[in-house]
Chains A and B, each alone.
Chain A
Amino acid sequence: MARVAIDPITRIEGHLRVEIEVDSGVVKDAWVSGGLYRGMETVLQGRAPADAFYIAQRICGVCPISHGHASTMGSEAALGIKIPNNARIVRNIIEGAEFLHSHVLWFYTLTALDYVDVVSALSANIADTYALAEKAGTTTADFGAIQKRLAGFVKGGQLSIFTNGYWGHPAMKLPAELNLIAVAHYLEALQIQAQAAEIIAIMGGKFPHFMTSIPGGTSWVASEQRLADVLFRWQGVSDFITNTMIPDTLAIAPFYLEAAGYGKGVGNFLAWGVFDDVSMDPKKRVMPRGALTGLTPFDPKPEEVTEFIKHSWYDSGDNLNPAKGETKADFTTYDLNGKYSWVKAPRLNGKPMEVGPLARMLVAYVDGVAPVKALVDGALGALSKAAGKKLPPTVLVSLLGRVAARNLEAKVIADAMGGWIGEMVAAVKGGDSKYFVEATQSDGQGAGLWEAPRGALGHWVNVSGGKIANYQVVTPSTWDCSPRDDAGVRGPMEEALVGTPIADPTKPLEALRIVHSFDP
């Protein structure tokens, strides 16, 4: 029995500590602790709803668009504002660009180093690398030059961000040539994520932290020239996802098929849904609203969300719905039997829920959303071939499925985004010049229930006399990284860690894979 603490968890947004109990090479128990409290909800009290849009998005520098939108939607719900159709389309495109930015950055920059041995790429045979890329149907690069760049870098003895990585770890399974392909695409992805972010900058001023999705609509006005600037960047990002990211995923997955056997988590899934169509019905969003226990769907009710704090460093009401939620910091000590995290424990009808691309893709799959069904069935077919047996959709409830779902979702969103740009062009050509409506009331309560790339996001806003009377946020990582609840039930990431094989407890790479699969 060995107790292993991983702190800091790197390649995430924020500050996270994970403790695992390892016995006979398998994780028997796990605790996830959030290390940072800033007090956003308290800062927002008494401010104007529009100010909340600018401030609240700064909860997260990787997904500020989602927080900005959830904040604005919360204010709009509270004040009874119905936004013009143009604003809906503009928000979809900006949100979509953030999802593509985030998913590309996550796969290549954040989690790839858990699977790709950068040092091993030095021993790749260049001719074989080209042959492998062709066989995998993925894009090529100047593999020789990249290997030379890497060699010079390693010879120099200063590995910078690659210092002390898990090179040569027994859980690294890729052949040298595939490692080199992945390193080449790691570098290319750095350009692609920036290209996706440029779309946000064009329509929102800058990224991270954008300026235009204020309550009432958008302050950005479309023109054909600006839409052309957006279109060509979307095309580049979309091509990368289709021709590089998806083939890379399917090339790497066969070497890690055992990851379909663990990392299952709590098996309950929640999606508030994201990307509205013209009906503005959350169930008809491109990634629709829904919840699952196993693969059985049910309607998630926002009023059934409560947050527990028995194991979190707060001294405020327990088991409260966010509409009436409280946040009062009270650090005691780090105690795994008592309080051990700055993250609260949200539950839906008392149950822990996994949120994120896997939740969204499963909800959409069960709902019969056509492009999702086609992509998931296609990927299952490819993986079944590699495994030599037919794999059912339930195999996705695993580490492998959580990684694959995010990359497949990038393809769904990239394709949908082409449609939104087309809608916007049609609106400009058709002379629809409405982008913004004024609020007509100054009191009310509402919630912006939306999705960040990493999962279901809610901003509950209570406005009184034009000022925010109460504000509560439940982020995706609050759901996924939650500590135990008052009944002692583990959060989704804690539960997913249990059962994970650990080859070397001093280098717990496999546990990092589980943590990163949630993209916290």
Chain B
Amino acid sequence: MQGLDARLSLAGVSRREFLAFCGAAATALGLGISGAPAVADALQRGPRLTPAIWLNLGSCTGCTESLAQSGTPDIATIVLDMLSLDYMETLGAAAGTQAESALDDTLRRGGHLAIVEGAVMTGEAGNTLRIAGTTGDALLERVCRDAALVIAVGSCAADGGWVRARPNPAGATGVLQHLPQLEPRLVNLPTCPVNPEWVVAVLSGHLLGLPLPPLDDLRRPLTFFGQTIHDNCPRRGHFANGEFVERFGSLEESLGWCLYDMGCKGPVTRTDCPRVRWNRGVSWCVESGSPCIGCGSPDWVDAGAPFLSRTNAVRPGIAGLRPEVAGEVVAAGAAGAFAIWGVVETARGRLRDTMDSGETDRTDHEEPSGTLKNG
């Protein structure tokens, strides 16, 4: 075996497909398409696959499921050609002592990645999660101790997710809250479930030997979590025009109008869902006619519920953007248009206050994209 190149040919992956993947990975990592050769070089260096351990803690297995919905590369490529996923309860062939010995072998060799799905369960002295005669939090500690990188996938691993919602009956918490010493080598990828394209991008960066991508104060990559859903929403034009869905399953919904009045948390939710989309890009929440419920936000259930009501926490535009993040985003040149657009909208009085139903906006139509019939 002579490195990844030889493995690729054995795997039946063509040079062309490999380079296409490198291009996609380079773009996802913010290197631009010109970074593809660097990606290819780095990937071909290592003669062995990086060992990885995927832990399911207090989870629903939805993040594993989500990974199985990855586009390019697909799940088979990830678990067979990118990584050696030596311990993963949901997909692993081995069970019981055979699974435990695979885990022991990988931990003994070290240099592994730890991917953690689900909340850390501390209730009943950790016994709210029992795995192989020990508790979930003890297993987490053992697996993360010498891990080269810890990726907390999904909102439950990031901060306890719904499991930690009031009154948190099982004592759930996030990986970083439970093991703060992991901070320098931990990346949080919230949303419920995690978006698989982000997992693939972070994995690729690690396999390339790159330093961690720029992160926000919640250890989330700014590339994916730097802007709000509202910033990139395809229905944003309708927001500007004051064209709102006021009832589910309505004609306004069939015209794709803005879901802000239905409780959409897009203005305060920092993810790039409208761009990355879901399930190999076929759709995303707002496109299906549902307001965003903010599943990538900290403490998302208690912060967002009741999901179908507009809340005072929703303050669209510049006011909802923390200055330090705005600075980074604008400096990166990724979203100058966003800031300008926000200022323009604010100046023109189109941003709706959250304290009333905003009747005045109804008169402020501009190039409506659909015509109400029978309405």
Contacts and interface: CB of A to CB of B under 8 A. Distances in A.
B96 interface: yes
Given A13-B60, A37-B128, A54-B293, A218 B93 contact: no
Contact of A43 (B48, B93, B162): B162
B65 A62 contact: yes
Interface centre among B49, B68, B99, B249 (most CB of A within 10 A): B249
A164 B282 contact: no
Nearest to B253: A221
Contact of B68 (A11, A13, A36, A193): A193
A113 B192 contact: no
Contacts of B288: 201-206, 210-212, 219-220
Interface in A165-188: 165-166, 187
A434 B127 contact: no
B372 interface: no
Contacts of A223: 254
Interface centre among A14, A221, A434 (most CB of B within 10 A): A221
A331 interface: yes
Interface centre among B95, B97, B98 (most CB of A within 10 A): B95
A364 B192 CA distance: 36
A113 B82 CA distance: 21
A54 B307 contact: yes
Contact of A206 (B68, B169, B250, B285): B285
A163 B290 CA distance: 42
A207 B279 CA distance: 7
B225 interface: no
B318 interface: no
Contact of B278 (A113, A205, A214): A205
Interface centre among B76, B85, B93, B282 (most CB of A within 10 A): B93
A197 B281 CA distance: 12
B63 interface: yes
Interface stretch (A149-157, A265-273, A284-292): A149-157
Interface centre among B58, B128, B254 (most CB of A within 10 A): B128
B133 interface: yes
A372 B56 CA distance: 37
Contacts of A390: none
A39 interface: yes
Contacts of B166: 43
A161 interface: yes
Contacts of A220: 249, 288-290
Interface stretch (B7-15, B173-181, B215-223): B7-15
A239 to B, nearest CB: 19
Given A190-B75, A209-B192, A60 B129 contact: no
B124 A329 contact: yes
Interface residues of B, number: 96
B169 A149 contact: no
Contacts of B308: 48, 50-51, 214
B61 A221 contact: no
Contact of B12 (A5, A7, A54, A148): A148
A148 B128 contact: no
A514 B254 CA distance: 48
B79 A160 contact: yes
Contacts of B56: 15
A10 interface: yes
Interface in B279-297: 279-280, 282-290, 293, 295
Interface residues of A, number: 101
A263 interface: no
Contact of A7 (B91, B96, B127): B96
Contact of A194 (B12, B68, B170): B68
A374 interface: no
Interface stretch (A413-421, A441-449, A504-512): A504-512
Interface string A135-146: 000000000011
Interface string A394-429: 000000000000000000000000000000000000
Contact of B96 (A9, A64, A201, A210): A9
Given A47-B305, A47-B306, A48-B305, A10 B279 contact: no
B170 A329 contact: yes
B69 interface: yes
Nearest to B101: A164
Contacts of A14: 61
Nearest to A223: B254
Given A11-B95, A207-B69, A219-B290, A164 B102 contact: yes
B324 to A, nearest CB: 30
A158 interface: yes
A198 interface: yes
Contact of A436 (B161, B249, B285, B287): B249
B283 A201 contact: yes
A190 B75 CA distance: 7
B62 A209 contact: yes
Interface centre among A203, A209, A223 (most CB of B within 10 A): A209
Nearest to B119: A38
A17 interface: yes
A61 B283 contact: no
B282 A161 contact: no
A164 B169 contact: no
A38 B83 contact: no
A256 interface: no
Nearest to A329: B124
A149 B95 contact: no
Contact of B282 (A60, A84, A153, A198): A198
Interface string B126-146: 011111110010000000000
9 contacts: A8-B132, A11-B90, A15-B131, A55-B301, A159-B84, A163-B87, A164-B101, A187-B76, A194-B68
Give 6 closest A-B pairs by Cβ, nearest first: A61-B62, A152-B10, A435-B249, A165-B93, A39-B169, A211-B290
Given A156-B48, A205-B288, A211-B290, 10 more contacts: A43-B165, A149-B12, A159-B84, A160-B80, A161-B88, A164-B101, A194-B68, A208-B62, A220-B249, A330-B124
Interface of A: 5-15, 17, 33, 35-40, 42-43, 47-48, 50-51, 54-55, 58-62, 64, 84, 86-87, 105, 109, 113, 118, 145-146, 148-149, 151-153, 155-156, 158-166, 187, 190-191, 193-194, 197-198, 200-212, 214, 216-221, 223, 229, 313, 329-331, 334, 342, 433-436, 506-508, 512
